[in-house]
Amino acid sequence: MEIHRQTCQNCGSRELKNIIVRDFESSEKVFVRCHQCKQLVARYIIANRGYYHHGKGFESYLRGLNRGGTFMSGKGMKSEFEKISHQTQEEYQEILRQLEKEEKL
């Protein structure tokens, strides 16, 4: 696993803000803006079913699926949500452990 902490290419700041854009005709996008110099840092396109908002629960996850036009059974969605929630938290803990080791935090 390779971990990269994004910094502003203009001023070197790590204080970045995510601006999430939802357009019903295309994919969801995240624009990353530097909090210090206000420049655009990067843009990400969120993959279909790729968005997980921690602590927001199953209802929020379902709204995300609807935006992506995905159809799944209720049971399948609930178990996928639980899997993603668990997996994301595990990955996050692993990232934090690695960053602490590398003293990047």
Closer to Zn ion by Cβ: residue 37 or 45: 37
CB 28 within 8 A of CB 45: yes
Segment interacting with Zn ion, rule: CB under 5 A, options 1-9, 73-81, 85-93, 95-103: 1-9
Which of 19, 37, 42, 99 is close enough to bind Zn ion by CB under 5 A? 37
Which residues lie across from 16 on neighbouring strands?
A: 34
**Alpha-carbon span 1 to 51, nearest angstrom:** 20
- In whole angstroms, the minimum distance from the beta carbon of 99 to Zn ion comes to 21
Residue 13 or 27: the one with the smaller Cβ distance to Zn ion is 13
Of 28, 34, 46, 64, the one binding Zn ion by CB under 5 A: 34
User: Residue 95 CB: number of other CB atoms within 10 A?
Assistant: 15
First to last CA, the chain: 17
Q: Which stretch binds Zn ion (CB under 5 A): 19-27, 28-36, 48-56, 94-102?
A: 28-36
Shortest reach from residue 75's CB to Zn ion, in Å: 46
Q: Ramachandran region of residue 83, left (φ > 0), alpha (ψ -120 to 50) or beta?
A: alpha
